[in-house]
Structures are given as C-alpha cells and as structure tokens.
Amino acid sequence: MERSRNMPNPYLCITDDERDILLSTLGFESMDDLFRIIPRALLDVKFDDMPPALREYGLLRETRRLAEKCGGAHDSLCFMGGGAYEHFIPSVVPALAGRSEYLTSYTPYQPEISQGNLQTFFEYQTLVCRLFEMDMANASMYDGAGALAEAVIMISGARPAKNRCLVSDAIHPCWQEVLGTYLSRLDIEIVTIPVAEGLTCVSRIGDMIDDRTACVVMQNPNFFGCLEDMQGASGVTHERGAQFIAAVDPISLALLAPPGEYGADAAVAEGQCLGLPPYFGGETLGIFTCRSEYMRKMPGRLVGLTKDSEGRRAFVLTLQTREQHIRREKATSNICTNHALNATRAAIYLSVMGPEGLREAAKACRDNAFWARSLISSIPGLAPAFDAPFFKEFVVRCKDRDVLSLLKSLMREGIFIGPDLGRFRPEWKDLFLITTTEVRTRDEIERMAEALKKAMGKEGGA
C-alpha cells in the first residue's frame, strides 16, 4: 500500500504537505534545490576514511573522542569494583525508564488498578528467573546485602529447630556486616567458613555442618573476584541436610552456571550492574530468588498472571506478606516498598541486551580482566594476590608501597582503581582490587598499567 502524503515518516516528524509548505516558504522547488546552497567544498568531502559501523558504546566513545578535539575534558578511567561497577547502559534504558509512567510510580495500594506497573514487575520476575534458573523471584528488594540477609532469615525460619548459618569469609565484608546486623536480634548464629588463597575452604564445609545448621552461604565470584566451587559446596551442603544460598553477579551468569543448575535453594544478587549507573556506590537493586517451596515465606511482593472476569489477561499482586498489608507479627519481612524504578531499568536492560548481548558483555569483562592481569604481572612491586580463576576483577598485592597513596596518585591523573582492601581489614593493607568491565578498551587498560608502572617506579620503596 502506498504511503499517504499526510502520513508522517516514521523517522521524521513532518508530513509531505508540511515539507512542501516549508520549501515554498523558502523559495525552493525541491529538497535538492535546498541542499544546493551548501558550499561545493563541503559536498566534495571524501568519506573513504570513515570508520565502519559501530555498536552503540563504540559510537558514544567515538563522539567523546571527537569532542575532546574541540577542547572537551579528557574522560577519567574507572577500574573500581568491589560491589559497584561501570557497565554499559544502552540509551534506551534511561529513555524508557525516565518516562513519567515509570518515574512517578510508587507502591500500588490498589494494585490491580495499576496493570502497567504489575506487568512490569511480572516481566522483571520472569527475566530474573530465566537468568538464575530459579523457580521464583520477588518484585525486588533494596540491595544485594539486604536480599542475602532476608534469604538467611527465610531459610532459617522454615526450619525453626536449626539456627546456625555457615557464611564464607570470602563474601563481601559489607554484606557480612549487614547480615550480622539483621541477625543480631534473632536466634541465628553465624559461623564463618575459612578462606585460603582467595577461595572458600569447601573441604571444611562438611565437617562444619551439624544438626543445627540451617544453611551455607557462598558468593560467586566472591569478594576477591575469584570463582568458587559452587557445585561442590552445594552438593556437600545438601548431603549433610542443610540448605544452600548463593550470592552471584548477574552479568557472570551469561558464562557461569546459574544457581538453579547447582541446586541453590535461594539465590540473591546486587542488580546495580543491570542498567544502573554506579554513582556514589549505587543506585542499588536487591535481586531475590528461591525454589517454589518457599513461596509463602518469601519476603516482599510477588506478581502473578491470571484472567479477569471477561477472560482477558490480567496481572495481580499474588502475595504481599509484608507489614504494610498484614499484621506485623505475621509479615515475612519489614521491607515496606521496593526499588520499583531500578527493577524496571533492570527489566529493560535484560530485554534489550538479550542472551547474546549479555554473553558478549560477560566475555568482554573476562577478556579485559585477563589482559589487565597479564600487564600487572610484569610491573615490579605489583603481583596478582591469588592464582584462582576469576571473572572481571582480581586482587593485586603491592610490595614496599602504601596502597592508599598509590591509588591517590593515579586518581590525580584521572585513573580510578580500587578499592583499597585495607579499609575493610588490617591484614589486607597491602591489597587492592582492579576491575575491568566491557566498557574498557585495551588501550585504556594499557594506559592504566603504564600509569601504575610509572607510579611504582617513581616512589617504589618509599
């Protein structure tokens, strides 16, 4: 069917009639006549040296490079990790999430009226379940640390006679602190699983589990960036009659086995890497998943799909066992709302990236980290702290140099590395993290390594 003259071009907000009026007003008969006013020298520009088609992030990087030629400031380089990461965010994510329908949404106290919000949460739950290969996911929580604490409380509450929780010491120290705060007023004992060479001592788990042990908690990749034996840990945990809780990096699941594959009873994550900028350590998003047997003990909210009285698809708030809706003593959690907008951004991000896009991002993270580690290994005074496999970050040991002063010297050059692990524990004072995500190029990684080499040579031994 021929397009009507008054039908707007899908890419231009102007009809054919409006274009004719524009040309008539300017005194031209056609668009070709209009463009003839452009100087001939500009029309004769050769485009043979133009780069090939670029992906979105490559195009953004190229435009920034061109802007620098016009006097723009040079971009700083971020190699910081330890819980908050600079990943690529497709432009469509903030564009859609910033629409007023999402930006102003809040807790739906008459939920079934808010079909748009409920559908968004339902899609988010579905995407998370597919990524984690778990039975159920709630409609998000505040952050990963809080989600982990809620998972321990849920698993322990399902087995009142068991009140011990074995927690790997390779879990993020801040997460361990949050977990301790949550459990400090509950009858749940935390027992730490020791770590050796950056990895949890899985061989010790079997002997540490007793009749009072409710669950074992491990993180993969762990705080040091190392990849744990989650299959082995889950197996021995279940053999001894306890439940297994996994904390994971969502991006890594494009390459690594998902929690459902190695039999996790609950799995949590920090979702900041899914379309959320790092800002000052967050925005954050608590991802919470579990097996279906815990459905009525899961914290937060669960959105379901049904049909209305006329047979049309409809979304409902299936479970809302939280203190705003029921008696406080019967609530599964005291969480009063959720990070709805951040969950929306994560859903958009996962939809846009798809399985292949997520896999490409994960591979780029891995490859960049391997390249960075190989460069760091050749710098005198610096060495990778552990030999264990890793994903997108690794720990570096600094000899004969104060770590904090070293990192500050690079910061003055616009290169951000860290965190300094000594801020968490005194025995880690000579360690720091280096993280490389898919947004870093090999040239940028080489620039970082050269800056480190220069800083170590300038004040090595000081």
Give the domain CATH number at 418: 3.90.1150.10
- Residue 122 placed within a domain: yes
The string of pLDDT tens digits covering residues 355-410 is 999 999 999 999 999 999 999 999 999 999 999 999 999 999 998 889 999 999 99
For a pLDDT cut of 70, what percent of the chain falls above it? Answer: 87
Same structural domain, 270 and 388: no
> Would you say residue 47 has pLDDT above 50?
yes
- Residue 46 placed within a domain: no
- Residue 26 placed within a domain: no
Same structural domain, 146 and 84: no
Question: Would you say how long the chain is, in residues?
Answer: 462
- Residue 199 placed within a domain: yes
Cα 200 from Cα 223, distance rounded (Å):
11
Same structural domain, 342 and 369: no
- Residue 19 placed within a domain: no
Cα 328 from Cα 331, distance rounded (Å):
5
Same structural domain, 173 and 322: yes
Q: What is the pLDDT of residue 281?
A: 72
User: How many structural domains compose the chain?
Assistant: 2
First to last CA, the chain: 77
Same structural domain, 198 and 249: yes
Closest to 297 measured CA to CA, from 317, 282, 319, 313: 319
Same structural domain, 225 and 363: no
The domain of 237 spans: 92-351
Residue where one domain finishes, among candidates 351, 378, 403: 351
Distances in Å between the Cα of 224 and the Cα atoms of 25, 247, 394 are: 67, 14, 6
The string of pLDDT tens digits covering residues 122-138 is 999 999 999 999 999 99
- Residue 84 placed within a domain: yes
CB-hemisphere CA count at 13 Å for 304? Answer: 9
Same structural domain, 319 and 365: no
CATH number for 145: 3.40.640.10
Q: What is the pLDDT of residue 2?
A: 43
Residue where one domain finishes, among candidates 290, 319, 351: 351
Closest to 343 measured CA to CA, from 72, 91, 142: 142
Helix (H) or strand (E) holding 434: strand 431-435
Out of 82-96, 97-111, 234-248, 263-277, least confident range? 97-111
> Would you say residue 42 has pLDDT above 70?
no
Same structural domain, 196 and 336: yes
Question: Residue 313 — very low, low, confident or very high, per pLDDT cuts 50/70/90?
Answer: very high
Residue where one domain finishes, among candidates 325, 351, 377: 351
Q: What is the pLDDT of residue 461?
A: 44
Same structural domain, 379 and 327: no
The string of pLDDT tens digits covering residues 213-237 is 999 999 999 999 999 999 999 999 9
Same structural domain, 322 and 381: no
- Residue 444 placed within a domain: yes
- Residue 5 placed within a domain: no
Same structural domain, 340 and 419: no
Mean per-residue pLDDT over the chain, rounded? 88
Closest to 417 measured CA to CA, from 49, 160, 86: 86
Same structural domain, 287 and 417: no
